[in-house]
A and B are shown apart, each in its own frame.
Chain A
């Protein structure tokens, strides 16, 4: 056996076990739920469950609502996290130290508890409303509204994203930034031409995490969200265990998998391109 053949066999053998796990815990369930979602309840197989997703008024607004919340959250999380990460990377002092020590705290607070905390803080008669009442400001409705879900998702996603971006930014050599500054590059150009391209890969990872986390979020939207439109996760739970329409729930699940896989494919492609560039 030639050396090359042996090497490729070893390579395959190393991939096989992890592929087996992927097959059993991810691929097979997805295929199963796809098959389940195709059955129309009267024995036949067709796309009626998917047609329902886009023709039912409530369902359609759920999908639009989910995408909207996800998009707004992604943009907001990335903006806040980049700002925080850049601030921590290029500044020193007590404030930076304070942020560095505290920004991870939300990661250690269980989701349900954080959500109830937010309800108490932002609710109609919550603390914030009571404090602002003194100065004569009335809060808009935050809890039982889209705003509440977005705020909760910010709370859950900012710490981890900031952590990812911080580590990426610390990998950028100070010499690059300094020499750019020396030749008189403005702050915005510095970000768009140097910092962003150099942390692009991590940015993509972070975006993928936030996107998938938000699109499949359940606890916060369930407790904070309005009755309609709902996030897909909440709707899926309702269809599955309240209406007991497993096939319809499977269709929603498969659809949200498709939504995630669009971003996943984009991510994998750009990773593959980078690998190729290296070789």
Chain B
């Protein structure tokens, strides 16, 4: 078919493509206008952006902490940016790195919340600010070993631990040590499940606990790649229990994957995050018969950290905020909302709180193996999953 008006259609084609291409570039323009807006607002008030990620409970937590803080410090405006988990926490980190590399300052991300992997990665990339007690007095309330683990590059403001969640209608004596657990798994085929360690912390905690089972205690604070050679025994154990776990080697995705199996009764024992179990018990998603048990030595619990972007120019306000987060009153809110452990040492909390955690607080270990966590996941994928 021949076009009657070639130039008209040519114009249309050009116009359409130009607008399409222009669409690609729009993101940048929008961003620059927001930057301008921020600068204008900060003339009387210091405003900084706090990026955090996680499930709904994390958002609820910050939604209640933010007004508390702003009431005490009317001159500081905390802008909460919530990124629902699994939708883009990594791009946030990548944005910080990209902004630094491009010499664009903080990239409008002043404070960031994430797990140990980001702390380690960021320390390596040199994007986190090293913190000290002079600027943040309440830092002295945090366990010094935990601070040493991260070289003061991050603030552990709360922790949750991995525990064993079990169905008490099927199990009356849950295992209390790792050896008992391994025996139990073999004695009750297909009744135990742990999730793919690369998709959720509870499975990764189980895998790491087994891999470091026979290694000296100090190795869990060591990110030296030389340790990798000592992992063989642990991986052999994991391969050995493979045929005894759910579906003879099915590892569901995400922390919720195993909880779902426990919920509908397909398995009766799983490693799970204490806060997730408590929350879902409260909401009636898990039956009342689900109970928790920590083993000795414990699964690893993980603190969640707050990191300050080195390039941020609002550090004073951020330090003020961090100091507030580590105060006993804020920590109490954290414990209530998250069903987790406080970030500061228990002796700083009220007697009532101390009683609540009596005996449980010692229940978890903090693993700090840095990049080795990724190496474990990689090796798990090729050795255990790919049988």
Closest to A24 in B: B21
Chain A 202-240 near chain B by CB (<8 Å), digits 1 or 0: 000000000000000000001100111100000000100
Let me know if B21 and A21 touch, CB within 8 A: yes
Give Cα distance in the complex from A222 to B254, angstroms: 11
Q: Does more than half of chain B's interface fall in helix, strand or loop, or is it mixed? A: helix
> Chain A 93-126, CB within 8 Å of chain B: the 1/0 string?
0000000000000000000000000000000110
Q: Which residue of A lies closest to B378 (CB)?
A: A243
Chain A positions 228-270 with a Cβ under 8 Å from a chain B Cβ: 228-229, 238, 241-244
Choose among B251, B264, B381, B387 the residue that contacts A238 (Cβ–Cβ < 8 A). B381
- The answer to whether residues A238 and B198 also contact, given A24-B24, A228-B387 and a CB cut-off of 8 A, is yes
Identify the closest chain B residue to A22 (Cβ).
Answer: B17
- Beyond A58-B381, A238-B381, is A125–B264 a contact (Cβ under 8 Å)? yes
Interface size on A, residues (CB 8 A): 28
The answer for the CA separation of A241 and B14 in the assembled complex, in Å, is: 38
Q: Which of A4-44 contact B (CB under 8 A)?
A: 10, 13-14, 17-18, 20-21, 24-25
State the CA gap A239–B17 with chains docked (Å): 34
B186, CB-defined interface residue at 8 Å = no
In the complex, which residues of chain A have a beta carbon less than 8 angstroms from the beta carbon of B20?
21
- Considering the chains assembled together, what is the distance between the CA atoms of A25 and B23 in angstroms? 12
Q: How far does the alpha carbon of A223 sit from the alpha carbon of B250 in the complex, in Å?
A: 12
How far apart sit A238 and B199, CA to CA, in the bound complex (Å)?
A: 9
Stretch of B5-13, B100-108, B361-369 with 4 or more beta carbons under 8 angstroms from chain A: B5-13
When distances are taken between beta carbons in the complex, the residues of chain A under 8 Å from B250 are: 144, 226-227
**A17 to B266, Cβ gap below 8 A?**
no
Determine if B213 is an interface residue (Cβ-Cβ < 8 Å).
no
A235 to B13, CA, bound (A): 39
A181 adjacent to chain B (CB < 8 Å) = no
In the bound complex, CA of A241 to CA of B386 (Å): 19
Contact call A244/B266, Cβ cutoff below 8 A? no
Interface: A199 (CB within 8 A) = no
- Which residues of chain B are within 8 angstroms of A17 by Cβ–Cβ distance? 13-14, 16-18
Quick one: CB contact mask for B29-41 with A, threshold 8 Å, 1 for yes? Answer: 0000000000000
Q: Chain B interface residue count: which class?
A: 20 to 34
Q: Are A125 and B265 in contact (CB under 8 A)?
A: yes
Would B386 and A141 count as touching, CB distance under 8 A?
no
Least CB distance, A217 to chain B, in whole angstroms? 15
Q: Is the CB of A14 within 8 A of B10?
A: yes
B90 interfacial contact with A, CB 8 Å: yes
Closest residue of chain A to B20 (Cβ to Cβ) is A21
Q: Does A56 contact B (CB under 8 A)?
A: yes
A144 x B252 contact (CB < 8 A)? yes
B382 within 8 A of A: yes
A233 to chain B, nearest CB (A): 14
- CA–CA, A60 and B266, complex, Å: 32
- A18's contact among B7, B17, B252, B377, by CB below 8 Å, is which? B17
Interface membership of B110, Cβ < 8 A = no
Q: Is the CB of A242 within 8 A of B198?
A: yes
Chain B nearest Cβ from A139, distance in angstroms: 13
Report the separation of the CA atoms of residues A227 and B384 in the bound assembly, to the nearest whole angstrom.
Answer: 9
Say whether B247 faces chain A, with CB atoms less than 8 Å apart. yes
Known contacts A125-B264, A144-B252; A20/B17 CB under 8 A = yes
Q: Which residues of B contact A144 (CB under 8 A)?
A: 247, 250, 252
Residues from chain A with a CB closer than 8 A to the CB of B90 are: 241
Is B374 at the interface (CB under 8 A from chain A)? yes
Check B251–A227 contact: CB distance below 8 A. Answer: yes
Q: Closest Cβ of chain A: how far from B242's Cβ, in Å? A: 10
Whether, in the assembled complex, A57 has its beta carbon less than 8 Å from a beta carbon of chain B, the answer is yes
Residue B196 lies at the interface, judged by CB distance under 8 Å to chain A: yes
Map CB proximity to A onto B109-135 as digits: 1 under 8 Å, 0 otherwise: 000000000000000000000000000
Taking CB atoms, residues of chain B closer than 8 Å to A229 are 386
Closest to A6 in B: B6
Asked whether A228 lies within 8 Å of B385 as measured between CB atoms, the reply is: yes
B264 x A18 contact (CB < 8 A): no
For the complex, what is the distance from the CA of A242 to the CA of B266, rounded to whole Å?
28
* In the complex, B253 has a CB within 8 A of chain A: yes
B15 to chain A minimum Cβ distance, whole angstroms, is 9
- Residue pair B10, A223 in contact (C-beta under 8 Å): no
Q: How far is the CB of B318 from chain A (nearest CB, A)?
A: 27
Encoded as 1 (CB less than 8 Å from any A CB) or 0, chain B from 263 to 281 comes to: 0111000000000000000
User: Mind listing 11 A-B residue pairs with CB under 8 Å?
Assistant: A10-B7, A17-B14, A20-B21, A58-B385, A125-B266, A144-B252, A226-B250, A228-B387, A242-B198, A242-B374, A243-B374
In the complex, besides A17-B18, A58-B385, 19 extra interface pairs with C-beta distance below 8 angstroms are: A10-B10, A14-B6, A14-B13, A17-B17, A20-B21, A24-B21, A58-B382, A58-B386, A61-B386, A144-B252, A222-B253, A226-B250, A227-B250, A228-B381, A228-B385, A229-B386, A243-B198, A243-B374, A243-B377
